[in-house]
Structure formats: C-alpha cells, structure tokens
Amino acid sequence: MGIIRLLLTIFHIIIIVLLFGTIMNAYIPPSVFGMLDLLSLGFPLLIIADILLLVFWIFSWKKRAAIFLILSLFFIIPTRRWINYTPTKKEVPNLKLISLNGKFGRLGDDAIYEYLNKQNADVIFFQEYDNKKPLDGFRYFENSRPIVKIQSKFPIIESGEVKTDVSTGMCLYADIKINGKIIRFINVYMEPFFLDKKMVKPTDNMDRNEEKAKKLLHKLIPTFKKHQTQIDQIKDFIDKSSYPIIVGGDFNAVPNSYEYYKVSEDLDDDFLKTGKGSGTSFHDFKFPMKIDHVFSSKSIIPISYKVDRSVKISDHFPVLTEFYIK
C-alpha cells in the first residue's frame, strides 16, 4: 500500500505541475513554447484528476492532503472559467447579444433563422455563416467578409475588418450606438484547426494512434502560433479603441490558453462574471470544448451568460449574453 501511495503522490505532483503549466500561458506565448497552449486543452481532465486524488488523500487522513489542497486553491478561478455559478443580478438588461458559429448552415438554415427570430436579440455575431435571409427587426449590417458578420437593430456608426496576418481567421468590428452611447463590438473568428472526428478518434491499432498523434501535433502547434499573431493584432486594436468594448465569437481556444489570457487582460470574461453551469460550447467532439467566449469592458455591466444546449442548429451551441449599458 505504501508503494501505491508513493506512486499516487508522484502522479499528483505531476498533475499539479501540468495545471500550473496552463497558468503559464498568461506569460509564455506559443511561439516560445507551443506545448503549453496544447496543455490548456487538457485542463478539464487534469482538474478532475486533481480533485479525485485530493478526495483520496482527505479520506486517507494523510497530511499531504493539506499541501495538495493549498496548491489546488490556485486553480479555483481557472476552473470557474469552464464551469461556474454566479447569483442572478438585479439589474434589468438593455442589450442582448447572440454569438453563433453556424457551421455554414449544414444542419439547416431554417432552424437557425427560426431560433434567432425567437430570441429577440439586439446584436448577432455570425461565424462560418453567410446568412442571406433577413432576420426580424435587423436593419444594420457589417458583412464585408462572407462568413463573418455582425447584425444589429441599433445604428452602426462605423464598421470594418480588423486586419490580421492569418489566412483564414477573420475579425470584424462595428461601432454601434445604443441608448445614446457608442459601443465597439468585435466579432472574432480565430484561425480554425481543420480537424474532424476521424483525426482525433483513437483506434485499436497503437501504431495508427501514434501516427494520428503526430499529425495532430503538426496541425495544432502551427495553428497556436497563428493564433498568437492574430490575437496580438486584435488586442492592439482593442487597446486603441476610444469606446467601451464587447468582443466575442469563436476563438478556437479554450480558457487558460494564451489567446484567452491575452484578450482578457483588460476585459471581463462575462461567463466568469455571470455564467451558470458549464460553458462548453462546441459539442461535435465528446471531449468538452469551451471555445466560444464573450468579453466586455469593465464599464459595461454583464447581466447573464447562457450557452443554449436546448438546440443543435450547428456544431456550436449559441452563446447568449445580456448587458446593462449605463
């Protein structure tokens, strides 16, 4: 039994080190060490392993439980970026935003239109979707790129593309006047990985699995580096804004990644502020993936954040956020 506990202790130490590695994404970019960004994808499994081992040490009445408990406290906020609970706020929202990656309408355009028309949103961010039928009440558009759009019921004062040095990822902005105040909305679509289920699904053949793992690394690491270029340029655009910011979309990046830390340096993660339950938004793979996010300036009050799992109109669940604009 002593040997088993020793092995479990070593394993737990490794888990803690790896968890701290995900936090280092805030300081080390993918161009320096891309494996850290890859590590952030495994955060849910790492934190589950940490909790299970922690429970084991507590019920074993081992002093090391206190040490592991103290170390695990560092991961409360990183965990809340994935799964969270905050009390309902009393303020009445006066702005509703929906962000949706529409998967090019492959699960049905009519379902997307029917869903969105029922939501009574004020602003909609589309990624991977070129909607051509008008939605109820929307009069203002930023659609300079075919698969990334911003639609608004409020007047758009200025809009355009945020230029980045990537081939596929896109970013649009629109300055929208809401109740006499201009808010800069930024719709982000980060460089995709171009993965499918066959590439990540393990087989009974270990040699085949090893080959798949190598191919995944050859796709993931270079894309993380492209993400760094793209998010650094988007962050520079954010920093130069003279208006309050709401930025959201499909980041193709999970919480505790370099991309997440970079964009949230001076903005609030609205899921962290108002989210309830799991923030997982991409459901095409069985592994939990929270890659759709919404952030806002501290002068904007987030009221609610919901990942709507009641519908499957895409491989992403719609993200619904409400705000109070003073």
pLDDT, residue 212, reads 60
- Name the percent of the chain lying above pLDDT 90: 68
Residue 196 predicted with pLDDT over 70 = no
Rounded CA-CA distance 156/163 in Å is 19
pLDDT digits (tens, 9 = 90+) for 132-188: 777 889 988 888 777 899 999 999 999 999 998 887 889 999 999 998 999 999 999
Indicate whether this model's pTM tops 0.95.
no
Residue 1 predicted with pLDDT over 70 = no
The whole-number average pLDDT for the span 102-107 is 88
pLDDT, residue 218, reads 72
Residue 202 predicted with pLDDT over 70 = no
pLDDT digits (tens, 9 = 90+) for 291-317: 999 999 999 999 999 999 999 999 999
pLDDT digits (tens, 9 = 90+) for 40-87: 999 999 999 999 999 999 888 778 889 999 999 999 999 999 999 988
Residue 213 predicted with pLDDT over 80 = no
Rounded CA-CA distance 57/38 in Å is 29
Residue 205 predicted with pLDDT over 80 = no
SS3 76: helix
Whether residue 124 contacts residue 116, with contact meaning beta carbons closer than 8 Å, is answered with yes
Q: Which amino acid is at 38?
A: L
Residue 204 predicted with pLDDT over 70 = no
The whole-number average pLDDT for the span 125-130 is 92
Half-sphere exposure of 299 (CA within 13 A, CB side): 9
Residue 46 or 88, more confident:
46
Residue 131 or 76, more confident:
76
pLDDT, residue 126, reads 95
Residue 286 predicted with pLDDT over 80 = no
DSSP-H helix ranges across 24-108: 30-33, 35-41, 43-59, 64-72, 76-80
pLDDT, residue 288, reads 78
pLDDT, residue 209, reads 60
pLDDT digits (tens, 9 = 90+) for 215-271: 767 778 888 999 999 999 999 999 999 999 999 999 999 999 999 999 999 999 999
Cα 29 to chain centroid distance, Å, stands at 17
Which residues lie across from 307 on neighbouring strands?
Answer: 319
Rounded CA-CA distance 154/124 in Å is 11
pLDDT, residue 144, reads 73
pLDDT, residue 295, reads 98
- Residue count of the chain, please give it: 326
